[in-house]
Structure 1
Amino acid sequence: MIYTITANPSIDYVLQLTTLTLGEVNRTVSDVKLPGGKGINVSRILKELEIDSTALGFVGGATGKMFENLLSKHDLKTSFTQVSEDTRINVKVNAVKQDEETEINGTGPDISDQEKDEFIKQLKKVGNGDVVVMSGSLPKKISETFYLDIAEMIQKQGADFVIDTTGQALLDTLPLNPLVVKPNHHELAELFNTTFKDNQDIIDNARKLLDKGAKHVLVSMAGDGALLVTKDHAYHANAPKGTVINSVGAGDSMIAGFVGTFMKTNDAIESFHMGAACGSATAFSQDIAVKEKINEVYQDISIKELS
């Protein structure tokens, strides 16, 4: 089973305006409310790939009920921990003529020690053959080591894990052997305080993450495609042609495609192919990609061995 953890889920209130004028009354052209959160995005892509997952996280208050109602339309298996304070609302304002998007993100609820303990109890059932995907921001009063502590716990129980994070937080997880890490090329350069001249430079630095313990490294490179780097080989996936509509969730989708496919096939190259397709399909969609779009984009991606 794949478990996704979204510690700080949200209702994403997306507003579309012709123009945004600060200090004045603005009227929307359209608006939509979506269940938000990086782990939620992973579970939604897995659903499109017909792969089971259970979404975990903290949900509370009137907004928490709305969040669960919005999510119910996607028919996901969930096991949320109920908390006393409200689930946050994130506001995204898209001013079409100005070609600008402004985001205002809520901080999320305070999580009590008792609520955190209730959440941790659910992870006692995780074991051999399971993968836990942890991603997204943390609510207030949750330790910055929350995900790392969970990784240590489930590893002892025999499960694999993925933490979608960057910087020192990523480096701290590597000795625990995450199944896959996915920095983009800018984040990878920042990790080692360097710049890249070509793909070989990226591959060489990605292998440093393998040397520190990661099992697979995915490096997304926007319009230049993506790389999969293993200890013995490196592979490139082209960026398929299409109009990027919304890059939010593309990285989550790539992780979902890789992890879900790897769970079924244990084939890193095929998992990379599907991950690249899921990521691009979401970038070409207004919301998280659907199965038909993923299958269409998959046909336009080719995998080439580089070394």
Structure 2
Amino acid sequence: MNTPCDLYRAVRLIRRFEERAVELVHSGVIVGGIHPYTGQEAVAAGVCTALRAGDIITSTHRGHGHVLARNADPARMLAELAGRSTGLNKGRGGSMHAADFSLGIFGANAIVGANGAITVGAVWAARRQAEQNGGGDPVGVSFFGDGAVNQGVLLEAMNLAALWRVPVLFVCENNGYATSLTVKDAVAGTITGRAEAFGMPAVAVDGTDPQIVFDATRAALARARACCGPSLIECTTYRFDAHHTWEHGSRVRYRDEAEVALARSRDPVEIQGSRLSEVDRSAVDIEIEALLDSAVEFAVGSPRPDPSGALDHLYATGMRGRSGSG
């Protein structure tokens, strides 16, 4: 679905989820910190709202927004961040490795640029399976940041996708910084030019506006489903919070306050919220707060994994890992 309310609900859910998650980091419920997605909500909402059942996504170390926009259960997601056995991955994936295969979420990935190859392989296999079973046209989305565009594995994935016409949408979330390194100091040429070098259509869009991202995604997905191969969307966006919550205590500074304030004037939640009536917007806000109240209660009240099962779930076959010394 895509109504102004659908897109607003998605960006509002992601924003408030991230704010709640940061609170749980500071209180010690979530150990180790997170990479907040605050400010980039329009990308996840615009892209994932355009997808169908059966489509596949892969994500990054900053992946909560993608997972939530693909309709993962916020309560189980929060439990995953908190390392609880009721989490999406039984508390074993944490913030940077959340997955839900039943929803086509083939995992966030802490290795910069690595998920491109996973997406191409998974979508290629899904298409072969669909052909054998007599139907279906699954496509895939690989999310990555500007810091990944110089990684060899991502460029290899683009090359293979273009050669084999694999229906993958490469989505670059260009928030201007790879941790603290600016794009202008790291990227020669342009990000869209990377895709164009492989004969792949590419477009740069305003990644702060959910509707603009949705429209660009819908066009790219139509092309993919028509067997015309991959494409790339560069979404210009900005993260309002730290690269990682570790920065909240370290107080590192690599962006000036004026820059951050200017970026906050293009807030995806406010941009999409302005398209709703006050009554409709308030109703969504109330719904989201109740949903997240319940999610926090669920996560905090859930048990931690039993250490005796630490070697379970290591193999797809179900074989249990062996313990031993030396």
* TM-score (norm. length: structure 1): 0.35
Normalized per residue, the structure richer in helix is: 2
